[in-house]
Amino acid sequence: MKSEAKRFFAEAAWVQGAWAKDVLLTVAGDGAWHSVEPGATAQQQEGATRLSGPVLPGLVNAHSHAFQRAMAGLTERRSAGAHASDDFWSWRDRMYTAANRITPGQLEAIASQLYAELLAGGYTQVCDFHYLHNDISGAPYANPIEMSLALVRAAQRTGIGLTLLPTLYMRSGFKATGLREDQRRFSSTPDSVMRMVEDIQRQTKGDPRINTGVAVHSLRAANPVALHELTGAAKVAGLPVHIHIAEQTQEVEDCIAHTGQRPIEWLLNNADVDAHWNLVHATHATPAELRGVRDKGASIVICPATEANLGDGVFDLPAYAAAGGKWSIGSDSHVTRSWPEELRLLEYSQRLTLRQRNIAARILGQESSAAGLFEAALAGGFPATGQLQGGLAAGHRADFMTVDMAAPALLGVPHSHVLDALVFSSPAATFGDVFVAGERVAVSTPQRAEAFSRAMQALWKT
């Protein structure tokens, strides 16, 4: 149902990759931008709602596992035993303990808290890579989308946009024929995933903030026949496709041992990869593979904080940027929930590796590293969600936020350097008001925090 058009005025707004002054922003009744007009006169400003600070468009968080918010800060102690090691695979075992406890009600409470934190961190749409399909015993719920609807309700209550990605998960590894006992909640097939998509679409019809795509957990988790079946159905339906790939060196080695090819190499040679595809992580990719991703029109989702936390490695941003590749940003396991932190860590990882400064500015052809990173991440929103979200421009959804210029990190900073300070001055600056589809959303409520605390206490017996 359409509402009346709204008009906002900002003394400064990020328009087409730069700060513009005296910007009149008009939101159409469908929640998309009708017009964005810099240099508005005093007469044009009359009757418009005056915004409290500089305006930035909202970013898409292109990779989320909502339930893993319940683990943030709880996996940072070394494994027991003289010969124990801590790596991605030991973390994964700990993650499974959380995955096998969470009820639908707890998931809704955790996701509600997370989504509010993502809004506060500058994200206005989240792509949830969702594989907690079944009940704790591994049997399907009476309603097969019970856990999916917990995420939908959390998104609707917070106001964030949600791209829900039911995930195909069929086996525990390349040589396996099925799942491990501790993966029983993840079980799905191409048919069941597409039924979930259809059911979610029916349940959310009329809510323009909610849409769907599909995900394949990884090459190791789905055989080629199933992968082709699901992604073929997704292509017919025009859905975005997401897949974890080349995150860990062991994953690359296992793929070579089983197929004779590296994961991205195999995918490019054997799947119908196109502009709907989003390759999550791609941490261990060769320059040739990165050029291949670019040639297919696909995108990569980079998750710097999680990739650092799990010891994955550093994404080769210079090689991918040189190839002209598209990418977006994600918070994955949610050890951070703020895009300035993700972009800062992405740049700093490059600086530590190359022992140079302002890497993104150089490789992305910008004067400012923050501007280069922000613009690239902004452009990656459409491939990740399949929705027109990519800035303050007519036709795009009217997602935006105001910057709190009273935040310590921004005190005295010239307006031309606000984005630089947002990303590279700590502690992170805060956002003021956040809007999704032209509507202001509340990012914090006592009830939400209380429900999250109760869920955490039940999960961890604190």
Q: Closest Cα partner for 124 from 434, 379, 449?
A: 434
DSSP summary character for residue 219: G
Torsions phi, psi for 212 (to 5 deg)? -130, 160
Cα gap 44→33, rounded to integer Å: 17
Per-residue DSSP letter, 121: T
Q: Is the peptide bond before 240 cis (omega within 30 degrees of 0)?
A: no
Tokens of 294: 């670019």
User: Would you please indicate which residues are annotated as catalytic (active-site) residues?
Assistant: 281, 332
250 membership: H or E segment, kind and range: helix 249-259
Pairing of β 241-245 and β 214-216: parallel
Phi, psi (degrees; rounded to nearest 5) at 377: -65, -35
Burial of 391 (0-12, 13-18, 19+ CB in 10 A): buried
How is the chain split among helix, strand and coil, in percent rounded to 5?
A: 40, 20, 40
| Residue 300 phi, psi dihedral angles, 5° rounding | -115, 140
